[in-house]
Structure 1
Amino acid sequence: MKKLVFHTVILAVCCAAATPAFAQEAAKQEAKETICFESRKGASEITKHEIKPGLPNVKCSPTTGATLWYGDPYDGTVPMGKMPLLDGIPEGKAVVRPRSEKLNLLGMCATACHNGVVPPGFPKHKKPVPIPTMESLLPEVKNLQHGRGRIWCLDCHHSTKRNMLVDHFGDPVSFDQPQLLCGKCHGDKLRDWRDGIHGKRIGEFVSTGKKRWFVCTECHNPHDVQDGARNKGFVQIAPESPPQLPNGMKDAKHESVHGIAH
C-alpha cells in the first residue's frame, strides 16, 4: 500500500512538472498561423481564426492546404465596385476579398525602379527585361506566357501608377477589380463570369442572395496562362482525393448512370 502511495505521489509530481511544458507547446502550436489557399496558392489565401468560440472562419485540408469549408464566406470582404450590366444587383449583395492592400510592394516599385517612366528600348520590341529583384519576386515574368508574345507589361499595368492596372482607355483599374481589365480582351469569359457560369462564388444559394465573387486573378496567374512548357491552357489543378465510400458500398459506378431515362 505504501509503495502504491509512493508511486502515486511520484507520478503526480512528474505530471505537475510536465504540465507547464505541455501548456507552452500547446500555446506555440495555437499561436502558429494556419493559412490555406482558396483558388490559387499565393493569390487567394486566408488565415484561419475563430469567428466566435468554437467556430473557425475556415477549415483547411491537411493534405493539400486548400480551403474545404467556410464558417463565414464573407469574412474580410468588401462590396464589389460598379460593373457594367450588373447594376441590378442590390448594394452589398456582391462582395470581393480585397487584394490591393497586400500589394503595397508594387507602389514601392514605382519609385524605386520604374518611377513611372518607360525604360528605353521597350516601345520598340515590347518584351519584358527582368531585373534580378523582379525575377526573385515574380519568376514567371522572365518568360511571360500571356498573349503569345503580343502583349507586354504596360498593356496591363498602369505606366505611372504601378499599384494599379490599366484598361484599354488608359484609365487606372484597381487590383480588386481585374475583370475590368481582363474583360477587354476576354469578353466571352467576362460575360460567363458575370452570369455565374464561369468562376467561383460562395454564399447564399438563392439567386438574389449575398455572394462572394472570386475575381480573375484569384484563379488565374496572368503571367503564366499558357503554363510554360505546355504552352496551352492553365496550370493544372491537383484536386482533393475523393471521400471514402460508405460501409458496404463497393464502388461509385451508380453516379455515372443518369437517374432519368432518355
Structure 2
Amino acid sequence: MICLHKASKIAVFALSSFLIVGMGVCKISYAAGENTETQTVQPVTDCYESREDYTTVTRIENAVPEYGFPSIKCSKTTGAVLWYGDPLEGTIPMGEMPEIKDETHGNFENAVVKPREPHLTYFNMGPNGCKTCHDGKIVPYPKDKKPRLLSMHQDIVENSLELQHGRGAVWCLDCHSATNRNKLMNRRGGEISFNQPQRICGECHGEKYIDWRAGIHGKRVGAWASHGGTRRWWVCTECHNPHTVQKNRFNPVKPEPAPPLPRGMKNASHERNDTE
C-alpha cells in the first residue's frame, strides 16, 4: 500500500510537470507568432493632422525614449493622426489675444499652436516668403481691393473672380495685407500673424469665435484644464480652407472602424435605442 501511494504521488507530480511545461511552450510559441505577425505589419509613416495635403507630418520612431513611443500614430483608414507621442512638439505660444467679455478674459498664456509663418517660403523662395515677389516692384502693390483675375496662385484659388468665401462679399485683400503679404490684415488695417488667423476669422464669425475661445468649437490636445496646463489649440485655417469654404465648409473624414463588441454581446442595438 505504501509503495502504491508513493507511485501515485510520483505519477501526479510527473503529470503536473508535463502540463506546466506544455503550457509554457504553447505560451512561448504563441507569443513568438504574435510578435512575428506584428513585425510584418508596417505602420503608416506619413499622414496629416487636420486637412489632407495641408498639415503633413511624418512618423518618427522612438521619439519619446522614456516610453519608446513614436512621434505619432497614423490611421490606416483616413491617413490622419490618431494620437501623439508628444502633442506639444513643434509648437509655439499662441501669442497675445484680445480681451473680451468671456470666461477666458484674454488669458491664453498656456495655449500653444503650430506656427504657420514658416510655410510662407512658398516654392522655397527664401526667407522673405511672399514678399520675394510682392515687394511693390516685381509685383506692384494693388491700387484698391476690387476683385480681379489673378495670373498666379491658381493652385490656391482656381478662379480669383469666383472666390468661395462670404458668398462673393469677401476677396483676397479683405484678409491679406496689400503691402506686406507675409501678414494678414484686420478690418482696421492692422497686421495679424498667419499664426493667429482666428483674430481675422472672429471679426465676421463672432459666434464661432466665442465658442472656439471657450473650448467648445475646434480641437485641443494636451492638458485638460484651461488654466494651469499647456494645451495645443487648432486654429481656424487648420480645419477650414478659407478659399473654398462655401464649397466645402469642412472636409468629411471617413470614420474609423467600430470597436469590437464586448464578449457576450450579440449586437449594438442598445445604441439605436431599440429592442431588436
How would you bin the TM-score normalised by the shorter chain? 0.7 to 0.9
Whichever residue aligns with residue 102 of structure 1, its letter is: H
What residue is the counterpart of 2:80 in the other structure?
A: 66
Give unmatched runs, 5+ long, in structure 2. Answer: 1-41
Identity across the alignment (%): 50
Decide whether the 8 Å contact of 2:96 with 2:108 is kept in 1. Answer: no
What residue is the counterpart of 2:116 in the other structure?
A: 99
* Equivalent residue for 2:156, pick from 120, 131, 138: 138
How big is the shift at 1:256? 4.5
Matches within 5 A, 1:1-262: 34-49=45-60, 50-53=62-65, 54-85=68-99, 86=104, 89=107, 91=109, 93-105=110-122, 107-112=128-133, 115=136, 117-119=140-142, 123=145, 126-131=146-151, 133-135=152-154, 137-140=155-158, 142=160, 143-208=162-227, 209-227=229-247, 233-257=249-273
Whichever residue aligns with residue 83 of structure 1, its letter is: M
Q: Distance in 1 between matches of 2:192 and 2:255?
A: 32
Q: Distance in 2 between matches of 1:63 and 1:210?
A: 30
Decide whether the 8 Å contact of 1:141 with 1:223 is kept in 2. Answer: no
Deviates more, 1:93-102 or 1:141-150: 141-150
Q: Distance in 2 between matches of 1:181 and 1:34?
A: 34
Instruction: Please report the TM-score for the alignment, with normalisation by the length of structure 2.
Output: 0.70
Deviates more, 1:97-106 or 1:60-69: 97-106
Decide whether the 8 Å contact of 2:91 with 2:115 is kept in 1. Answer: yes
How big is the shift at 1:88? 6.0
Give the match's secondary structure for 1:148: helix
Whichever residue aligns with residue 131 of structure 2, its letter is: A
Deviates more, 1:246-255 or 1:161-170: 246-255
Q: Distance in 2 between matches of 1:218 and 1:140?
A: 20
How big is the shift at 1:45? 2.8
Decide whether the 8 Å contact of 1:43 with 1:217 is kept in 2. Answer: no
Q: Distance in 1 between matches of 2:130 and 2:225?
A: 43
How big is the shift at 1:149? 0.8
* Matched length: 219
Decide whether the 8 Å contact of 1:164 with 1:172 is kept in 2. Answer: yes
- Higher alpha-carbon Rg: 2
How big is the shift at 1:150? 0.8
Alignment RMSD, CA only? 2.9
Decide whether the 8 Å contact of 1:117 with 1:159 is kept in 2. Answer: no
